Amino acid sequence: MKVIVCNNSEEMSKVAAQIFADRIRKKPNIVLGLATGGTPVKMYKELIRMHKEEGLDFSKVVSFNLDEYLGISGNHHQSYRYFMDTNLFNHININKSNTHVLNGKAKDAAAECKTYEDAIKKAGGIDIQLLGIGGNGHIAFNEPGSPKDSRTRIVDLTKKTIEDNARFFVDVNEVPKQALSMGNGTIMEAKEIVLIADKTSKADALSKSIEGPVTEQVPASLLQAHKNTTFVIDTDAAVKLKKKYESPKATASKGGCCCK
């Protein structure tokens, strides 16, 4: 597991975008795993800039999103489908039919989850998965205690997650109490994983995930057992880490990635 500590949120976004752009250039028909939330917005803006100014080509790219709220449709402004369309897909040349987001309004939600797992397998698995992290250490909507081998399924959201995500809704009571989410097991099968985090509100979850024991109580700590995971975080999110980690410049000088 690699940890890159960036100077700020802007640099975090650029470093993560450069990793994704590099993988897309190397494999134009790559299968991306994508995430929502406030954290990836600037990274998606950078990918849009690369598309417009540098010709980064998404025409053959396939994507699968991590999760979706249960009970709301893709047209709902707080749905993750709407988020992806407005923050990324509408601004790049990706074929919308190659973009997959779980259907929160599916009549049979359990069947929707099974179909999603099958579609990921049929696509050859996820080449590179983007993750954010919840303040309680969750990844996607795998709340503390989610089994490490869990698959895409219906999940109950914790009070903390509902409160954390209330900022996107008019009222906390509007936040759905359940979601459809890839499981920890689904995520761990991605060939490469990049977790991004900024803000001091993530510092506690990151210190437990990176330097604490591997435990289902902190789902992001499970990533310690993944062969190709990079945490790209900023100095605010890194305040509780005890060990020293690389800066983007140090990584670049070794031929890794990234910041110009």
Binding region for ligand GLP (CB under 6 A): 35-39, 66-67, 132-134, 140-141, 161, 165
Q: Provide, rounded to whole angstroms, the least separation between the CB of residue 28 and ligand GLP.
A: 26
Q: What is the largest CA-CA distance in the chain?
A: 52
Count Cα neighbours of 79 within 13 Å in the Cβ-side half-sphere.
16
**Is 29 designated active site?**
no
Closest to ligand GLP by CB, 39 vs 122, is: 39
User: Of 37 and 185, which has the nearer Cβ to ligand GLP?
Assistant: 37
CB of 39 to ligand GLP, least distance (A): 3
Answer yes or no: 68 catalytic.
no
Catalytic one of 65, 87, 98, 136: 136
CB 1 within 8 A of CB 223: yes
Least separation in angstroms between CB 25 and ligand GLP = 26
Smallest Cα–Cα separation from 10: which of 49, 48, 46, 53? 46
Catalytic annotation, pick one of 11, 46, 65, 67? 67
| Exposure b/e, 40-66, CB count within 10 A at least 16 = b | bebbbebbbebbeeeebebeebbbbbb
- Residues sharing a CB contact under 8 Å with residue 33, sequence separation 6 or more, in sequence order: 63, 64, 65, 66, 126, 128, 129, 130, 182, 187, 190
Does the annotation mark 67 as catalytic?
yes
Tokens coding 1: 């597991």
Residue 211 CA to residue 95 CA, distance in Å, equals 40
CB of 45 to ligand GLP, least distance (A): 14
Write the single-letter amino acid at 112: E
Nearer to ligand GLP, 67 or 234 (CB): 67
Known catalytic residue: 127? no
Considering beta carbons, is residue 57 or 216 the nearer one to ligand GLP?
A: 216
Which residue of the set 87, 138, 184, 198 is catalytic?
138
We find the least distance from the C-beta atom of residue 144 to ligand GLP, in angstroms, to be 13
Q: Which of 143, 164, 198, 234 is catalytic?
A: 143
Between 64 and 141, name the residue whose CB sits nearer to ligand GLP: 141
Rounded-to-integer distance, Cα 6 and Cα 238, Å: 9
Question: Taking the complex as a whole, how short is the minimal distance between the CB of residue 252 and ligand GLP, in angstroms?
Answer: 25
Instruction: Please say which residue, 161 or 251, places its beta carbon nearer to ligand GLP.
Output: 161
Looking at residue 109, its amino acid is A
Q: Which H or E element spans position 163?
A: helix 159-165
- Strands in 178-181's sheet, in edge-to-edge order, are 67-69, 178-181, 153-156
Q: Which residues are catalytic?
A: 67, 136, 138, 143
